[in-house]
Amino acid sequence: MNFARWVAIYGPTYLTGLGWTAVTAVGAACGALIWGCALLLIRLSAGRWGARGVDAYVQLFRNTPVLLPIYLIYFAFPMIGLPWPAVVCGGLALILQNGAYISEILRGSVNAIDRVQFDAARSIGLAPWSTFRKVVLPQVLVYSIPALGNQTVLLLKDTSLLSAISITELTMQAKLLTEQTGAAYEAFIVVALLYLLLVSGTEVLFRVTHRAVRWR
């Protein structure tokens, strides 16, 4: 059957996949941001060993593919008594991986903050945690918006790997439809288009946010 008819018939089944992709992407992105900030905090405040620890963590996740933690958490955790649901396992793997990259992005922006501000903060008696929360973090986040946007797009694309642990997101949906209807071309082209849409949407979102925040 031709493309248009196939899309008309099977289009709505993609909505489940779209929903799961969006939910895992948003959840993992927020989680990764929080985890990245936590890593940054550890790096800044725990002295040499803290910084080295974070470095080792970052190097580990930069030099290994994200499929490995996905498989590990999904298949191995139940064996040690932690049978978390698939979405949690996949989300956790994505958070651990992307948190590493985000902490590096934020670290780059920290160097852009004038040293003077740290001295000023200490002179008015701000505790390290408050310095971090009120001085460092807001500026670092604002500086990093473009790079964070880029990382979010990468995370969005990585959600497709969650199909390997049987989460019914977009890619899994395409595979199921291919098997059901034998129409491989149609199934995967629609999914590719949907991903392009999501990616473009995310990029626009970050660009708009960047512009809005810069005006303040």
Partner 1 sequence: MLTSRIRHVVAAALVAILVAAGSPAGAQEKSRLDIVLERGKLIVVTLTTVPPFAFNDDKGQLVGFDIDIARLVATALFKDPNKVEFVSVSAEGRWPAIESGRADMGVGGTTTYPDRAIRVAFTRPFIDSGISVLVSKKSGIKSLKDLDQDKYTIANLNNPQMADRAKRFFPRTKILTFDTPSAQFLAVKSGRANALQIDTPSAEYWAAQNKDELGVLPGLLGASQNNGIFMKPGDFKWWLWLDTAVAEMRTGSWYPQYSEIYHKWFGKAPPPQKFYLQQ
Partner 2 sequence: MPPGSLALLAQGAVVSLLLAAAAIVGGTLLAVLLAAIAFSRFAAVRAVYRVYVYVVRGTPLLVLALLLFYAMPALDLRTGPYIAGTLVLIVYAGALFAEVFRGGVLAIPRPQWESARSLGLPPLAMFRKIVAPLVTRYTLPPYVNVCVMSVKASSVLSIISVWELTLAAREIIERTFAVFTILGVAAAFYFVMCFGIDRLGRLLERHLALKGFAGERA
Distance CA(131)–CA(134), nearest Å, equals: 5
Site for partner 1 in 58-97 (CB under 8 A): 74-76, 78-79, 83, 86
Q: Closest CB to partner 2 among 137 and 183?
A: 183
**Distances in Å between the alpha carbon of 171 and those of 7, 97, 165, 175?**
16, 20, 12, 6
Would you say 144 or 159 has its CB closer to partner 2? 159
Q: Which is nearer to partner 1, 86 or 142 (CB)?
A: 86
User: Which CB, 68 or 212, lies closer to partner 2?
Assistant: 68
Amino acid letter, 155: L
For partner 1, which is the closer residue by CB, 108 or 179?
179
- Which of 176, 183, 189, 199 is the binder for partner 1 (CB under 8 A)? 176
With binding defined as CB under 8 A, does residue 121 bind partner 2?
Answer: no
Within a 10 A sphere around the Cβ of 208, how many other Cβ atoms? 10
Residues 158, 52, 151, CA angle at the centre, nearest 5°?
20
Size of the site for partner 2 (CB under 8 A): 36
> Are the beta carbons of 100 and 58 closer than 8 angstroms?
yes
3-state secondary structure of 168: coil
Residues in contact with partner 2 by the rule CB under 8 A: 59-60, 62-68, 71-72, 75-76, 79, 153, 157-161, 163-164, 171, 174-175, 178, 184-185, 188-189, 191-192, 195-196, 199-200
Interface contacts to partner 1, rule CB under 8 A: 74-76, 78-79, 83, 86, 164, 166, 168, 172, 175-176, 178-180, 182, 184
